[in-house]
């Protein structure tokens, strides 16, 4: 009898332990589903900051332009590209693009003597509209008259439009693709104009200019934007037929490894913008400039890593989508970077900055691959206004 009772007690204890274990596993699974982000969609890159392997992509050239991917490394002069390649020990992906040329960046403020160097607003306006303007002006000529931006031109052709940046979304470079304002510093007003313009996809920083600003909150709703603020929401987002505004930081997305990373945002934008009528997408490596202003080489190189990753992804995508023109350039040079002759990786450091964090008038590189890319680089030296003119030309030619 005692033996039977002992067996029964043992079975009860085993059942109890199993139930507790099962309950704990269920509890862990429930907790995991709340605290762990959902698995990213398979089409998104793995988020890891590293130098991407050098690859020369073969994009079809002799086809009409359906899509344009314009990639701007803010402040990315030729010397920081050289320094990045010394530290990496190999070429950057952007250096393997099919065609290249050199670009002048001076603004109207430089030519009329009121300023020494261009700023990002005047340069973005030149690249977007094809016209020189005054520093701090966005989408306006020197007299304050509105100029047609590249997003407005693309919209007139019934194309989709998109903007990806690490800075505040209404910062100078993305704003220059859309907005019209006499001061780049009017971030709240500029963001409202960008929202009201109906850009299909905008991904970056600057959530501070939505929450607590009723006019901007109202504009988001009035223009039927889906507004998201987390990497998890971006990973699972798949509404290609609806407009998306994703602002993932209160201010600037300063760290190159902050999620979602630049190549992740680029990948999602491309997925959402793809359509039969084509698109224009601007992707900015915003914080190359930020850390050059601080003469911080280590952080600048991290930003170069992140930007070249995004270039690599865009070229992979374009190789699979004939009719895509990919342009990689800079709005200006920052920091007066000078890499010593025969430099080794350790020689690429803070001492390479020579302009006390200021912009310079150094010409910048332009690389192009894909549809009609050769035509943009047929001259050894072009002006930043030529970029806007060429984008309009190839889009117009493709629709004749």
Query: Residue 102: which H helix or E strand, with range?
Result: strand 99-104
Preceding amide of 260 cis, omega within 30: yes
Q: Is 157 exposed, middle or buried (0-12, 13-18, 19+ CB in 10 A)?
A: middle
User: Would residue 120 show up in a list of annotated catalytic residues for this protein?
Assistant: yes
Positive/negative CA dihedral, 59, 148, 288, 236:
negative
Query: How far is the C-alpha of 263 from the C-alpha of 283, rounded, in Å?
Result: 9
Dihedral through CA 43, CA 159, CA 396, CA 327, nearest 10? Answer: -40
All residues at 6 or more sequence positions from 248 whose CB lies less than 8 Å from its CB, including other chains: 203, 204, 205, 207, 229, 230, 231, 234, 258, 259, 260
Planar angle of CA 195, 197, 200, nearest 5 degrees = 75
Given the residues 120, 355, 362, 369, the one annotated as active site? 120
Instruction: Give the Cα separation of 392 and 361 in Å (integer).
Output: 26
3-state secondary structure of 391: helix
Give the residue numbers annotated as catalytic, written as ranges.
120
């Amino acid at each position: 009898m005692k033996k039977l009772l002992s067996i029964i007690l043992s079975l009860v204890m085993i059942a109890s332990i199993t139930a507790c274990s099962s309950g704990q596993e269920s509890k862990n699974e429930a907790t995991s589903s709340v605290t762990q982000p959902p698995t990213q969609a398979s089409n998104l890159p793995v988020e890891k900051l590293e130098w991407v392997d050098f690859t020369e992509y073969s994009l079809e050239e002799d086809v009409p332009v359906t899509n344009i991917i314009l990639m701007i490394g803010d402040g990315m002069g030729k010397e920081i590209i050289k320094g990045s390649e010394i530290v990496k020990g190999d070429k950057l992906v952007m250096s393997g693009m099919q065609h290249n040329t050199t670009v002048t960046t001076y603004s109207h403020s430089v030519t009329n003597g009121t300023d020494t160097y261009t700023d990002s607003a005047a340069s973005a306006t030149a690249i977007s509209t094809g016209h020189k303007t005054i520093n701090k002006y966005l989408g306006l000529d020197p007299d304050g008259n509105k100029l047609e931006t590249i997003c407005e031109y693309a919209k007139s052709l019934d194309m989709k439009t998109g903007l990806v940046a690490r800075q505040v979304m209404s910062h100078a470079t993305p704003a220059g693709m859309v907005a019209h304002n006499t001061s780049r510093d009017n971030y709240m007003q500029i963001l409202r104009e960008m929202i009201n313009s109906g850009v299909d996809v905008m991904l970056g920083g600057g959530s501070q200019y939505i929450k607590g600003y009723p006019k901007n909150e109202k504009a988001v709703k009035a223009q039927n934007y889906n507004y998201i603020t987390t990497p998890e929401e971006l990973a699972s987002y798949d509404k290609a037929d609806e407009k998306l505004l994703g602002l993932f930081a209160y201010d600037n997305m300063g760290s190159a490894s902050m999620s979602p990373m630049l190549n992740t945002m680029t990948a999602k934008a491309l997925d959402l913008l793809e359509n039969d009528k084509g698109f224009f997408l601007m992707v900015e490596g915003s914080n190359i400039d930020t850390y050059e202003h601080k003469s911080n080489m280590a952080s600048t190189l991290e930003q170069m890593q992140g930007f070249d990753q995004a270039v690599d992804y865009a070229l992979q995508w374009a190789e699979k989508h004939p009719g895509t023109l990919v342009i990689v350039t800079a709005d200006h040079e920052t920091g007066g970077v000078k890499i010593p002759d025969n430099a080794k990786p350790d020689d690429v450091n803070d001492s390479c900055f020579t302009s006390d964090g200021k912009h310079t008038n150094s010409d910048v590189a332009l690389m192009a691959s894909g549809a009609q890319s050769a035509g943009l680089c047929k001259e050894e030296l072009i002006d930043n206004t030529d970029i806007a003119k060429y984008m309009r030309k190839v889009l117009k030619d493709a629709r004749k």
